[in-house]
Amino acid sequence: MTIGNIPKEIRRKPSRQAHVLLAYLPTTCLEHVTNKASCRRMLANLYHACVGHVLAPLAAAGINGVNMQSGNGAMHRCHPLFVCFVGDYPEQVLATGVKTMQCPNCDVPSDELGLAAGAANYQPRNLDAVLDALSALDEGGLAFVRACTVAGIKPIIHPYWEGLPFVNIFESITPDVLHQLYQGLVKHLLAWLSEACGSAELTNHKNEFAQMTTWLERREKILRHKKYVQWRLAGTTHHPHHHPQPPEMTFCRTQTMTKHPSVKAVTMDKIVNEYGATYFRKSLTRCIAKASLPINTTITPRQLEDRASDVYLPFQTLPVFHKVKWVSVDVHGQGDPQVTLDSVHARPGHSRPFTSDSVSS
The residue (of 68 and 101) whose beta carbon lies closer to Zn ion is 101
Q: Is 48 exposed, middle or buried (0-12, 13-18, 19+ CB in 10 A)?
A: buried
Stretch that binds Zn ion, among 98-106, 179-187, 314-322, 352-360 (CB under 5 A): 98-106
Q: Say how far apart CA 170 and CA 98 lie, in whole Å.
A: 9
Q: Report, in Å, the least distance between residue 101 CB and Zn ion.
A: 12
The phi, psi pair for 29, rounded to 5°, reads -105, 0
- Please list every residue from 335 through 354 that binds Zn ion, using CB under 5 A: none
Q: How many residues bind to Zn ion according to rule CB under 5 A?
A: 4
CA dihedral of 145, 148, 150, 152, whole degrees rounded to 10:
-130
- CB of 110: closest distance to Zn ion in angstroms? 10
For residue 96, state whether it binds Zn ion (rule: CB under 5 A): no
Beta strands in the chain (DSSP E): 66-69, 75-78, 253-257, 263-267, 317-320, 323-328, 340-345
- CA dist 319 → 199, 246, 254, 268, 353 (Å): 54, 44, 22, 11, 20
The CA–CA distances, whole Å, from 251 to 59, 272, 340, 360 equal: 37, 35, 11, 19
Smallest distance, Zn ion to C-beta of residue 176, A: 14
Of 78 and 108, which CB lies nearer to Zn ion in the complex structure?
108
Minimum distance, C-beta of residue 34 to Zn ion, in the bound complex (Å): 35
Q: How far is the CB of 124 from Zn ion (least distance, A)?
A: 8
Which residue, 126, 131, 125, 123, is CA-closest to 164?
131
Closer residue to Zn ion (CB): 114 or 333: 114
Site string for Zn ion, 101-120 (x = CB under 5 A): --x-xx-x------------
Residue 10 to residue 307: CA distance in whole angstroms: 49
Q: Residue 279 has what DSSP assignment?
A: T
Question: Of the candidates 126, 127, 129, 133, which has an alpha carbon nearest to the alpha carbon of residue 157?
Answer: 133
Query: Smaller CB distance to Zn ion: residue 116 or 196?
Result: 116
Q: Choose between 125 and 154: whose C-beta lies nearer to Zn ion.
A: 125
Smallest separation (angstroms) from Zn ion to the CB of 119: 12
**Closer to Zn ion at the Cβ: 122 or 231?**
122
Shortest separation between residue 348's beta carbon and Zn ion, angstroms:
53
Report the alpha-carbon distance of residue 356 to residue 353 in Å, rounded: 10
Residue closer to Zn ion by CB (options 14, 104) is 104
Contacting residues toward Zn ion, per CB under 5 A:
103, 105-106, 108
